[in-house]
Chains A and B, each alone.
Chain A
């Protein structure tokens, strides 16, 4: 069955960067987009951006533009989300998920907790 397996929890200091990975399996990685979202404590889910598994084209939410970079490695069928200049407000569970083109998201990774604390 489809799997999106994310990297483990991270603890970072303010000002640092974090890179979260999302390993895809049991489907054609190049056919789908991978999205990244986050859910801060008590807050609604926020869409951060997405990458096309085939051509690697990425689109970002204006809120995170300049601070987030989404990449992928097709040979490893893995997508990555890099977030820089972390503050305590970036403490959240980060999720990757897939969609077929611009369509609905149909499957999610298990989430990766990122804690930003001095």
Chain B
């Protein structure tokens, strides 16, 4: 199965700053079928990005995804207070679908 490794584990930033999150796969992801989710404590994940770079419906344009093959990036251009959360990547190009361990974006 494909192992996804996210880095860093924790990102300490201030509102207004730029966040860059990485997701690296143990092998190439078919058709760049990589999604990003936001998860807040006690809540289910929310879809942000699919197909590595397509924003889901209703997601602000400060969220963007990029990358291909084994290396993917989620960028939040200017952090808003509601963006402090855990971010997960998931690949759906191969079975079983697998998740990264998450990056926590916390207020500095």
The chain A residues found within 8 Å of chain B, CB to CB, are 35, 37, 44-47, 59, 61-63, 95, 97, 99, 102-111
Q: Which of B55-95 contact A (CB under 8 A)?
A: 56, 88, 90, 92, 95
Q: Secondary structure at chain B's binding surface: helix, strand, loop or mixed?
A: loop
B interface bracket (residues with beta carbon within 8 Å of A): 20 to 34
How far in angstroms is the closest Cβ of chain B from A91? 16
Q: Are B88 and A106 in contact (CB under 8 A)?
A: no
Q: In the docked arrangement, what's the CA distance between A26 and B104, Å? A: 32
Query: Given the known A-B contacts A44-B99, A62-B96, are A106 and B56 also in contact in the complex, defined by CB atoms under 8 Å?
Result: yes
A and B contact pairs by CB, cutoff 8 A, 20 listed: A35-B97, A44-B99, A45-B88, A46-B99, A47-B97, A47-B98, A61-B95, A62-B96, A63-B96, A95-B45, A103-B50, A103-B92, A104-B47, A104-B90, A104-B92, A105-B47, A108-B45, A109-B44, A110-B43, A111-B44
Query: Given the known A-B contacts A45-B99, A47-B97, are A104 and B44 also in contact in the complex, defined by CB atoms under 8 Å?
Result: no
Query: Given the known A-B contacts A44-B99, A59-B95, are A106 and B47 also in contact in the complex, defined by CB atoms under 8 Å?
Result: yes
Q: In the docked arrangement, what's the CA distance between A104 and B96, Å? A: 13
How far in angstroms is the closest Cβ of chain A from B24? 14
